[in-house]
A and B are shown apart, each in its own frame.
Chain A
Amino acid sequence: MSWDDKLLKQAKKIIKLYPQKRSALGPLLHLAQSKDGYISDDSITVISELVGITEVQVKSVSTFYSMYKQEPTGKYLLSVCKSISCEINNSSEVINKVQEFTGLNNNETDEEELFTFEAVECIGACGGAPAVQVNYETVEGVTPENAINLCKWLKETKPDVVVADEMQENFGGIKSFDWAIQDNSGATSTAPGFQTLKTTKVKK
């Protein structure tokens, strides 16, 4: 087994939350994603043993959902929305600028394994279009210039925890909702930040 004891312990804790073992499949795949930056075949074998289904059944689920990456990702997964609300608010220019800065085509990772770029469908932030996500932490109202600033900031400071509110303050603009509680926690990997999975951390 290629998972260390700490991760296995966490996995078993997650499995206990569900009446059937196999129901924990989704969260466990996120856990695998946070470990390696993608769903490796080794992780699939571990998960299949943990939840008692065959490896190919795990593979089937993991390849169905696009948030489970099949290839290794960089430290920061840059997802720029290309759906209609963002598109009419100039997201194509944001996409161009980010691609220009990182030198990446869609679904590519750079050599330093710092950035992975993807243009994605609606991420539910139409009110603040155009929207960008870094490791699934959403920044709204991003202008092409601010998109470059965001990338530059990431490249220069390389923060271990990416916090949505912090990026919103520095690089964002208009927001869908402005009444949400201030949240200083953020994602620690290219898996979305979930407290139960411990893929989120408070930034000090």
Chain B
Amino acid sequence: MNEKVNLNVNGIEIESDPNKLLIEACEDSGIHIPRFCWHKRLDPVGMCRMCLVEVETPRGKMLVPSCTTEVSDEMVVDTESDVVKKAQEGVLEFLLINHPLDCPICDKAGECPLQDQTMAYGPGESRFVEEKRHFEKPINISEIILLDRERCILCARCTRFSDEISGDPLIEFIQRGNKTEVNTFPNEPFKSYFSGNTVQICPVGALTSTSYRFKARPWDLKSTRSTCNGCSMGCSTELNSSQNKMLRILGVDNDTVNQGWLCDKGRYNFEYLNSDSRLKTPLKKIENELVEIEIQDVYSELSEVIKDRQTKVNFLLGSNLTNEDYVAFREFSEIISQSEKCFYLNDDMLHPGFFGENVELAKVDDLNSSDAIVVWAEDLKEKIPVLYLRIRQAVKNGVKLVVFGHTNETLSDIADVFYGKETVSENFEIVKDISKLKEIKEYVIGKNITAILGKSTPHQSDKSVTKLFEFLNSNSNSKVLNAYSKGNTYGAFQTLENVKGLNDFVNDISEENTDLLFIVGADPVGRSVYSNQIKSIIEGLDKVVALDNFNHETSELANFLIPMSSTLGEKEGTFTNIEFRTSRIDKLVPSPGQTVSDWEFITSLMNFAGLTVETNSLESLNKKAYENLDPSLSPVFDNLDKPSNLDGMVNVSKPKISSTDNNSNEVKFFTGEKLYGDSATERHSDSISLLGSKKYIEVGEGVIEKYNLTSGKCTLIQDEFEVAVSYEVNKSFPNDLIYIPTNRRELNKFDFSREIMIIPSLVKEALDVN
């Protein structure tokens, strides 16, 4: 099977794997064949005919499209003959017949495959003197994507992407022949979490994004390779900036992680970097007013607090820090703090996970090589979108998908088995005997399994997932991918000991054990389900220092507010993803005003307090982070910068998570987060803020009857607090279940352990009038 085949291309002998496409085999051997429609990650379609080459056949030399022809042994190919050249000129002349040639005002000009290949292979002159085909110039096919049908060359890359890769085919070819155009159905916009990828793979300027449109020319762009820290997938990105402003993020084809794709949040959320509302100077709260102060004054005030090394310091750390930042806090804690050494992560879903001795941890690539994937976790499409794409890809390749729980409804469409409300109760417990489920017997028992496991909702007890884990572990050859979704959670695992989540923060932190609290890049008041409790805890503390990009609901409670530089292109460091793959985060633009990196702040503070630290530079922190690992395999900068390691280095180390179970047997409300919310960064990104953070709830069918809901709107009331929301019925929910997305302001302010009243809006209006 693994035998190679030999081909002769342009007189050169090359070797290739069998079953490869000719265009790919040539590419691998350094022979470039021009193309528009063919894309490595999409099925071949043979639309554009640009890749025609001559192949010797029993009937003589023939022109064949190399993107739909598989290699065979002793194939003789000519990619540069006169016939091929004539074919290429002809194809380009045809493609340019209706192309408007508005390159001077086109965003793609300068990096346009059509422009480049016309220069390289084109006829130089057109014989077409007639009127070109006309369409309305760019139409909005979604809030953030524009389509110029005149520029389109009908390569079908975007339509294939949305059909094959992201699975939401909302754009298609309409009409036929000369009238063919790409379009959406009327009033059914291209609302996809992955729509930005179509802009990136469009070989002409037909698809553009509102975000980057008319902002820069490719030859003005500075670029660097980095890693997205939006979720725990850690997609490889290319950052582009011009005149010190970040303008665009592109996906980089990292075979083992994101394969070139990004979700729209990862692609467009950078816009907050350029927001005017960013914190630029340190602020101090004096009599409830925030007053600008010098950073030196912050250092001197705080150094008074920490100087005697008797201070009880606690840390609430966000997931958008680099590993080096985490290490800086760890070192700081070791030197200064007298309280128990532990770190609270800004995660209301943190749980001990499955990292024990008997667990084999999975890599993302294992999805493709296992017999079946078993998922019971948060909604992966909402929380780790690109992992969802990888699952889709595995399923397309024939891997069976077994999904538990109504939380993962978006996977149910492609799942071979979806164990919904009949199997998983409202309290998030599996109510059936797992071993007796028919499909489990068929797909799981005794097979190679990749299990993606995690909590589905903050109030769920850890025990229910553990039950499934134990079943899988003893009945199949399983590997586990722990589905912690938040940013650099795995970086925190790798660098910090004794990490806990927000449920423990709420129970542990009090005035007695906390003299000083650092809140770094975290807004638990604005986003977590423990909002009210955390707010009152922070209000009860004497000294709170918040480091953040924006002033938000949590940071406004702090005594000091330090402007933080963003991990998205404003600082260097490393990031560790869901499979413990550590890769580089790079700096491309200067951070505004007096913003500082977290590690700079904490190191300067220690220096100011006269405490000598050896980790006083980024490099030393980086080395410190991985000092226990084998030097040749440790992801220090020197290693990561080697060309062979650009995709990151995997270094599995089992974390110490000391989070406790909240043991609740009764989940009254199913809370979770959707991809788009209204956190401070999302509100200040123009594109993301358009994509919807509408306040709504999803309900099981029984809820409609129970509360007599009719108008599509209702009001949630608890004590004096009320929020008006719209509701949607979700048929896969257990009857009485109510889902509340908590990454919307106000919706997380309820006490979810108590009853929340639901009143239909018509009744509410009548009550208000009276």
Contact = CB atoms under 8 A, between A and B. Distances in A.
Contacts of B173: 60, 64
Q: Is the interface of B mostly helix, strand, loop or mixed?
A: loop
A44 B185 CA distance: 10
Contacts of B188: 54-56
Interface string A170-190: 000000000000000000000
A63 B175 contact: yes
Given A41-B186, A44-B185, A54-B185, A59 B174 contact: yes
Interface in A137-157: none
Interface string B166-191: 00111111111000000111101000
Interface SS majority for chain A: helix
A163 B185 CA distance: 37
Contacts of B171: 56
B285 to A, nearest CB: 52
A57 B169 contact: yes
Given A41-B186, A44-B185, A56 B172 contact: yes
B176 A56 contact: no
A60 B186 contact: no
A126 B423 CA distance: 64
A59 B176 contact: no
Contacts of A63: 174-176
A44 B184 CA distance: 13
A44 B186 CA distance: 11
Interface string A65-102: 11000000000000000000000000000000000000
For chain A, the bracket of interface size reads: 10 to 19
B170 A60 contact: no
A44 B390 CA distance: 31
A91 to B, nearest CB: 23
Contact of B172 (A41, A60, A66): A60
A66 B169 CA distance: 23
Interface in B119-177: 168-176
A180 B123 CA distance: 55
A39 to B, nearest CB: 12
Given A59-B174, A60-B174, A64-B175, A54 B186 contact: no
Given A41-B186, A44-B185, A56 B169 contact: yes
B729 to A, nearest CB: 16
Contacts of B174: 56, 59-60, 63
A59 B186 CA distance: 10
A57 B175 contact: no
B154 to A, nearest CB: 13
A40 to B, nearest CB: 11
Nearest to B179: A63
B176 A64 contact: yes
B152 to A, nearest CB: 15
Nearest to B174: A63
A55 B168 CA distance: 11
A7 B311 CA distance: 77
Nearest to B163: A57
Nearest to A70: B175
Contacts of B176: 63-66
Nearest to B175: A63
A57 B172 contact: yes
Contacts of B170: 54, 56
A89 B169 CA distance: 47
Contacts of A64: 173, 175-176
Interface string A46-59: 00000001111101
A54 B169 contact: yes
Nearest to B177: A64
Nearest to A61: B172
A57 B159 CA distance: 10
A66 B177 CA distance: 11
Nearest to B171: A56
Contacts of A44: 185
Nearest to B169: A54
Best-surrounded residue of A53, A56, A66 (most CB of chain B within 10 A): A56
A57 B185 CA distance: 9
B158 to A, nearest CB: 12
B170, B171, B172 interface centre (most CB from chain A within 10 Å): B172
A56 B174 CA distance: 8
Contacts of B175: 63-64
Nearest to A45: B185
B570 to A, nearest CB: 40
11 contacts: A53-B169, A54-B169, A54-B170, A56-B174, A56-B183, A56-B185, A57-B172, A59-B172, A59-B185, A63-B175, A64-B175
- List 10 tightest A-B contacts by C-beta distance, closest first: A60-B172, A55-B185, A56-B185, A56-B172, A64-B176, A63-B175, A63-B174, A54-B169, A60-B173, A59-B185
Interface of B: 168-176, 183-186, 188
